[in-house]
């Protein structure tokens, strides 16, 4: 038995574990009630994708790792769902690519910001950004625009899992290289991303870390080649085809 009262070989184990973590996140004040709805939407898309990392999602995760390794200042944006689902994996990725972790909430409250920062620290994060909120993303209303001047505002590459479409567009308009993880390829956030990753964050984050470790000794030229050969349109089309038609190739 594991952290849920279900054996690990249960066919719905991962899905049940995910629900359990999100419920716990709500109970601890980390995840918002809106986060429960986002979780439900995500589950439906994941079911249609076959609940596995597709070859095109894997290619996107490899391109994401190359972007992160080439970055001057990469930042991983953390919201209430991601913090509840995969805190250890976020901390590991931040270490592997030398990125900052920044709490960045759509429904921002001081309590939830603190709860998420504490939760990340409990899982090994040393420095958690987002609490200063001393800079703004242009083009967004006050609360939703808040970021740290030495965090997301200054970043050249940002990973935004489950980001709201408006904010994803505003970050792209600031010229940032945006890596979006979202199970819905038709959502505005992956549509605006430099690298759209249509995969569950639970699988995507550790797989980006695995690729980053594989590429640790690659030259900048090799990393640029991976970045340039990634085709974002093909990745989005591939995911949509798989969801709509169950097309597995
Ligand atoms: P947009 O404004 O970009 O269209 P949206 O309204 O579709 O956004 P929300 O309703 O906020 O977005 O839903 C959150 C998104 O997060 C959904 O697209 C859902 O598929 C995705 N999502 C939920 N859980 C996960 C997960 N574990 N991994 C990846 N994506 C997820």
Task: Take atom 9 of ligand 1 and give the residue whose Cα is closest.
Answer: 38
3 state DSSP class of 19 = helix
Q: What is the predicted pLDDT for the residue at 152? A: 97
User: Does residue 13 lie within any of the structural domains?
Assistant: no
Which of 40, 64, 182 gets mutated to test ligand 1 (max ligand atoms within 8 A of its CB)?
182
| Per-residue pLDDT reduced to its tens digit, 177-195 | 999 999 999 999 999 999 9
CATH number of residue 119's parent domain: 3.40.50.12640
Select from 158, 132, 187 the least CA-distant residue to 77.
158
Q: What is the predicted pLDDT for the residue at 88? A: 98
163 CA distance to ligand 1 middle (Å): 7
User: Does residue 11 lie within any of the structural domains?
Assistant: no
Distances in whole angstroms, Cα of residue 38 to Cα of each of 42, 43, 69, 72, 197: 6, 9, 30, 32, 17
Cα dihedral 107/162/40/234 (nearest 10): 150
Q: What is the predicted pLDDT for the residue at 135? A: 97
Task: Compute the distance between CA of residue 17 and CA of residue 8 in angstroms, rounded to an integer.
Answer: 9
Q: What is the predicted pLDDT for the residue at 248? A: 64
Which residues of the chain fall below pLDDT 50? 1
Q: Is 185 in the pocket of ligand 1 (CB under 6 A)?
A: no
16 CA distance to ligand 1 middle (Å): 18
Which of 41, 163, 206 gets mutated to test ligand 1 (max ligand atoms within 8 A of its CB)?
41
What number of other Cβ atoms are within 10 A of residue 143's Cβ?
Answer: 12
Q: Is 96 in the pocket of ligand 1 (CB under 6 A)?
A: no
User: Does residue 31 lie within any of the structural domains?
Assistant: no
Task: Take atom 14 of ligand 1 and give the residue whose Cα is closest.
Answer: 38
158 CA distance to ligand 1 middle (Å): 17
8 A C-beta contact, residue 184 and residue 190: yes
| Per-residue pLDDT reduced to its tens digit, 72-110 | 999 999 999 999 999 999 999 999 999 999 999 988 999
8 A C-beta contact, residue 178 and residue 160: yes
219 CA distance to ligand 1 middle (Å): 35
User: Does residue 42 lie within any of the structural domains?
Assistant: no
pTM to 2 decimal places: 0.95
User: Does residue 14 lie within any of the structural domains?
Assistant: no
- What is the position in ligand 1's atom list of the atom closest to the CA of 190? 3
User: Does residue 43 lie within any of the structural domains?
Assistant: no
- What is the position in ligand 1's atom list of the atom closest to the CA of 189? 3
Q: What is the predicted pLDDT for the residue at 1? A: 47
User: Does residue 3 lie within any of the structural domains?
Assistant: no
182 CA distance to ligand 1 middle (Å): 6
Domain membership of residue 160 as a residue range: 55-244
Q: What is the predicted pLDDT for the residue at 11? A: 78
Q: Is 56 in the pocket of ligand 1 (CB under 6 A)?
A: no
Total of domains in the chain: 1
User: Does residue 1 lie within any of the structural domains?
Assistant: no
Q: What is the predicted pLDDT for the residue at 7? A: 82
Task: Compute the distance between CA of residue 33 and CA of residue 187 in angstroms, rounded to an integer.
Answer: 20
List % helix, strand, coil for the chain (3-state, nearest 5).
Answer: 55, 10, 35
């Amino acid at each position: 038995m594991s952290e849920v009262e279900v054996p690990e070989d249960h066919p719905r184990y991962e899905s049940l574990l995910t629900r359990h973590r999100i419920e716990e996140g709500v109970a601890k004040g980390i995840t918002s009630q809106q986060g429960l709805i986002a979780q439900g939407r995500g589950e439906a898309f994941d079911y249609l994708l076959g609940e596995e990392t597709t070859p095109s999602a894997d290619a996107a995760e490899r391109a994401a790792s190359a972007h992160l390794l080439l970055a001057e200042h990469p930042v991983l944006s953390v919201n209430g769902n991601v913090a509840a689902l995969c805190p250890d994996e976020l901390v590991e990725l931040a270490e592997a690519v030398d990125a900052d972790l920044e709490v960045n909430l759509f429904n921002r409250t001081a309590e939830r910001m603190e709860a998420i920062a504490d939760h990340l620290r409990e899982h090994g994060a040393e420095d958690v950004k987002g609490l200063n909120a001393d800079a703004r993303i242009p083009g967004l209303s006050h609360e939703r625009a808040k970021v740290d001047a030495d965090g997301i505002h200054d970043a050249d590459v940002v990973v935004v899992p489950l980001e709201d479409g408006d904010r994803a567009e505003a970050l792209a308009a600031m010229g940032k290289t945006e890596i979006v993880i979202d199970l819905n390829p038709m959502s505005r956030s992956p549509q605006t991303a430099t690298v759209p990753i249509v995969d569950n964050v639970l699988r995507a984050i550790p797989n980006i870390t695995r690729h980053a470790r594989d590429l640790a000794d690659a030259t900048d030229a090799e990393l640029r080649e991976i970045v340039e050969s990634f085709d974002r349109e093909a990745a989005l089309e591939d995911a949509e085809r798989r969801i709509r038609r169950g097309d597995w190739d």
